[in-house]
Structure 1
Amino acid sequence: MNKITKIIIALIVCLAVGYSASTVTRPSVETWYPTLIKPAFNPPNWIFMPVWTILYIFMAVAAGLVWDKIKGQNEEVKKALGFFLIQLTLNAIWSYLFFGLKNPLLALIEIVLLWLFIYETYLKFIKINKIAGYLLVPYMAWVAFAGVLNASIWWLNK
């Protein structure tokens, strides 16, 4: 399997996870989320979909680039992709906790764990393919921002 095919498969997986999370998010964005007190730095709702789409694309390209190195660095690549799949799962779970269960505190605890797994994935990816590692930097930054936003929403609405 060539590099492009691996990136396309990773893209399908990442976008499927994003779509799955959006099915829980969408109804709450229209009903529950507007009732919450939000901090002044809360972005407008329309910004989240394009940002997450770009981040999922970056994540998929990163995963595909790492996956492409499997022949030369089998164990390192398997471990890195394992961390990638864990963080991707945690990414989806956050939406279910925050928007599905409407539990900002539980989502806040989980987003800290998510960020730590993204960081560990970044450390593993950058050793295998520098570009793959760099592609995760905007994701880490956005999740850090989302963590601050999540904490603020929890604090303002507790």
Structure 2
Amino acid sequence: MNRTAVYTVFIAAVLSLGLLIGTNNIPGEWYQSLAKPTFNPPNWVFAPVWSILYVVIGVVGARMFLAFRHTAAMRLWLAQMILNFLWSPLFFGMQDISSALIVIIALLIAVAAFVIASWQRDRISALLFLPYFAWVAFATVLNSSILLMN
């Protein structure tokens, strides 16, 4: 498989799965009824932010697959994807704020561990994950706040 095909497959897979999970776990009346902190962004912000992040995550996944397939960084990339895709069904689908918080804390740790693990081998991938880390950190604070307020 050539490089372009690997990038295309990774970006398409991550973006498609993310959008599929998002469309099947839409914030509904339950979420609207929750008390939220003042820094909670409007709902329309989440889809474009996650779409951009999923493209970046796909690019990083392709880079890891092509050059560092059998490394801890690749395993951490896969682990963060699993955790990422678990969060929405827990939070919105099952309305389980506590379990979602546990998952997002694990996600934050996995993303940080990926950055650390990839820093020496592929600094570009590590740097590309920093906005993702910042967004997951913000989402962790938001999840925590919603749990405490409800």
After TM superposition, is the score higher than 0.5? yes
How far residue 147 of structure 1 moved from its aligned partner, in angstroms, is: 0.3
Matching of residues 62-81 of structure 1 within 5 Å: 62-70=60-68, 75-76=70-71, 79-81=72-74
Q: Provide closer, same or farther for how the CA distance between residues 62 and 53 of structure 1 changes in structure 2, counting only shifts above 3 A.
A: same
How far residue 3 of structure 1 moved from its aligned partner, in angstroms, is: 2.4
Give the letter for the 1:124 counterpart: A
TM-score (norm 1): 0.88
Q: How far apart, in 2, do the equivalents of 1:81 and 1:16 lie?
A: 20
Matching of residues 1-158 of structure 1 within 5 Å: 1-26=1-26, 29-70=27-68, 75-76=70-71, 79-157=72-150
Q: Which portions of structure 1, spanning 4 or more consecutive aligned residues, are displaced by more than 6 angstroms? A: none
Structure 2 residue runs without a partner (length 5+): none
Percent identity among equivalent residues?
Answer: 37
TM-score (norm 2): 0.93
Give the letter for the 1:32 counterpart: W
Count of matched residue pairs: 150
How far residue 139 of structure 1 moved from its aligned partner, in angstroms, is: 0.5
Q: How far apart, in 1, do the equivalents of 2:2 and 2:23 lie?
A: 32
Give the letter for the 1:96 counterpart: P
Q: Provide closer, same or farther for how the CA distance between residues 62 and 114 of structure 1 changes in structure 2, counting only shifts above 3 A.
A: same
Per-residue Cα deviation, 1:98-150 (whole angstroms, up to 9, x for no partner)? 00110111111111111111111222222321111111101100000000000
Structure 1 residue runs without a partner (length 5+): none
Select between 85-94 and 122-131 the one with higher mean Cα deviation: 122-131
Give the letter for the 2:73 counterpart: A
Q: How far apart, in 2, do the equivalents of 1:125 and 1:16 lie?
A: 25
Q: How far apart, in 2, do the equivalents of 1:6 and 1:119 lie?
A: 24
